[in-house]
Amino acid sequence: MRQPPESPLRVACLQMEPHIGRKEANVARSLAMIAEAAADGANLVVLPELCNTGYVFETREEAFSLAESVPDGPTTHAWMQAAKQHDLFIVAGITERVGDKLYNAAVMVGPRGYVGTYRKNHLWGAEKLYFEPGDLGMPVFHAGAGRIAVAICYDIWFPETFRLAALQGADLLCVATNWVPMAEQPAHLPMMANILAMGGAHTNSMFVAAADRVGVERGQPFLGNSLIVNAAGWPIAGPASTEREEMLIADLNLADARRRRSLNEFNQLLRDRRTDVYGEMLGSAARPGPY
């Protein structure tokens, strides 16, 4: 007989299609999808990068005019209400304004309100014209028994992102993303972004839940292919379609993330690191813990 999971968490990735500049409609759409996920019993939902504003800004002024404070802006307020109403956690990408600065951020809210903010550490392309690089390190948030880290899109091109999360004991990395096509992707192999999610999960014994957007914005297509990966590195939901809005849902046993770090009687992934050869990760948020 199969044992019930010790640390169950039902995660939904909401693959949606934001439209540039139509913030009210985008937030309304996110709330409708969150309600669907709640009806399916989700405890945690993940939404794409910049899902309240859209992604392809034409100018910094356009981005600035759409940006909001976190947590006191209207988008975060709406998500906090939904989190309370549905008794779940939400991780969602948002265009954040702090004084004159802009950040490509993700907010986490829960049944008891605002949990925290992550700001994208690795900016892609023209984002470097609009946004400041993230200045909050790699925080790990708590959602019930689970430890949750957050990354945004290009962040997962840096294996350091997974490592920083895992070294702080994260069980799950939520990825809010807007993946764009890359040259040379063979049709018969998984998308490179999916490969990076699988490898990062496997080598850090950590679940990964990536919510991508779909649609074409000002000529820029996005890739969909959202997925949820288990702590051994294998997809347990998705990859989703390339073009449709849809919801992925999966039941995680977060205990697996902690258990699997031992590969056999001699090997434990995080302890086997040769920090004498390549150094510890030294950032403020990177305290190699007793995990």
List of residues contacting its own copies (CB under 8 A) = 121-128, 133-134, 137-138, 154, 157-160, 162-164, 182-186, 189-190, 192, 195-196, 198-200, 202-203, 230, 232-235, 264-267, 269, 272-274, 276-286
**Minimum CB distance to its own copies, residue 162 (Å):** 8
C-alpha 48/C-alpha 46 separation (Å) is: 7
Q: What angle do CA 171, 177, 180 make, to 5 degrees?
A: 135
Nearer to its own copies, 23 or 122 (CB): 122
Nearer to its own copies, 72 or 184 (CB): 184
Is 51 in the active site?
Answer: no
Is 128 in the active site?
Answer: no
Is 84 in the active site?
Answer: no
Residue 23 has φ and ψ, to the nearest 5°, of -65, -45
Nearer to its own copies, 64 or 158 (CB): 158
Nearer to its own copies, 2 or 274 (CB): 274
Nearer to its own copies, 113 or 289 (CB): 289
Taking the CB of residue 28, how many other CB atoms lie within 10 A of it? 12
CA-based nearest residue to 178, from 128, 108, 132, 120: 120
**Minimum CB distance to its own copies, residue 182 (Å):** 8
Q: Taking the C-alpha atoms of 87, 215, 63 and 193 in order, what is their torsion angle to the nearest 10 degrees?
A: 80
Catalytic residue among 13, 51, 68, 153: 153
Q: Is the peptide bond before 48 cis (omega within 30 degrees of 0)?
A: no
Inter-residue contact 199 to 34 (CB < 8 Å): no
Beta bridge partners of 141: 148
Q: What angle do CA 9, 43, 37 make, to 5 degrees?
A: 120
Inter-residue contact 102 to 95 (CB < 8 Å): yes
**Minimum CB distance to its own copies, residue 28 (Å):** 33
Catalytic residue among 120, 127, 174, 217: 120
* Helix ranges, 71-121 (H): 74-86
- Round the CA-based radius of gyration of the chain to a whole number and report it: 18
Catalytic residue among 17, 49, 96, 217: 49
**Minimum CB distance to its own copies, residue 98 (Å):** 18
Nearer to its own copies, 29 or 120 (CB): 120
Taking the CB of residue 60, how many other CB atoms lie within 10 A of it? 13
C-alpha 287/C-alpha 115 separation (Å) is: 21
**Minimum CB distance to its own copies, residue 130 (Å):** 11
**Minimum CB distance to its own copies, residue 74 (Å):** 30
Known catalytic residues are 49, 120, 153
